[in-house]
Amino acid sequence: AKDYELRQYETAKWVSTVIRGETQKEAMRQGFWKLFHYIQGKNEKEMKIDMTVPVTCLVKSGCTDFKISFFVPFEHQDCPPQPTDSDVFIEERKAAALFVRSFGGFASPEKYAEEADTLARTLRNRGQSFHEDFFYTAGYDSPFKVFNRHNEVWYFKK
């Protein structure tokens, strides 16, 4: 469709952390740094790992816990180094079909919520079945990139 796409993602490992009881913006900041320390060598192998995109944030309706995640690079998918920070963990996300809406600019939590609402409304209007109680935000750019920024919101297809 012109205002969203349906993607199929394969099973993959992500390095994640859950930040509780903060605003989404503060959770993103804290979570990013915990994960950044992991890829900078705060792991069992003291290995530096390339930064990957997207950086995702799981947003659940009415919940102040946010799960921030980095995709584990392909060369480490089989055996990612274990985190040494007890708040950081490796998770395997199962293969899934996702409805994705893309947008540009600097994305705030409010902008992500607005785009997620737009996507949900569109999917309902088209009779698509999806998990409405949560969505993921996905950011693809460094905070220093000013132009041609790429952001997404994801809903899982039922």
**What CATH number does the domain containing 90 carry?**
3.20.80.10
Q: What is the pLDDT of residues 4-33, one digit of tens each?
A: 999 999 999 999 999 999 999 999 999 999
Q: Judge whether 41 and 127 are in contact, CB under 8 Å.
A: no
pLDDT at 1: 79
Number of residues assigned to the chain: 158
Q: Single out the residue of 38, 32, 74 nearest to residue 55, CA to CA.
A: 32
Q: What is the rounded average pLDDT of the residues 122-140?
A: 97
Q: What is the pLDDT of residues 53-74, one digit of tens each?
A: 999 999 999 999 999 999 999 9
Place 135 in a pLDDT band, splitting at 50, 70 and 90: very high
Distance between CA atoms of 111 and 103, rounded to whole angstroms? 10
Report percent pLDDT > 90 for the chain. 96
How many other β-carbons are positioned within 10 Å of the β-carbon of residue 90?
17
Domain containing 72 equals 5-156
| Res. 123: pLDDT tops 90 | yes
SS3 114: helix
Q: Single out the residue of 98, 138, 104 nearest to residue 14, CA to CA.
A: 138
Query: Residue 63: which residues within 8 A CB-CB, separation 6 or more?
Result: none
User: What is the secondary structure of 51-91 as a DSSP string?
Assistant: --S-EEEEEETT--EEEEEEEPPGGGSSSPPPBSSTTEEEE
* Cis omega (within 30 of 0) for bond into 54: yes
Q: Which one-letter amino acid corresponds to residue 82?
A: Q
Place 2 in a pLDDT band, splitting at 50, 70 and 90: confident
Q: Total domain count for the chain?
A: 1
What's the mean per-residue pLDDT of the chain?
Answer: 97
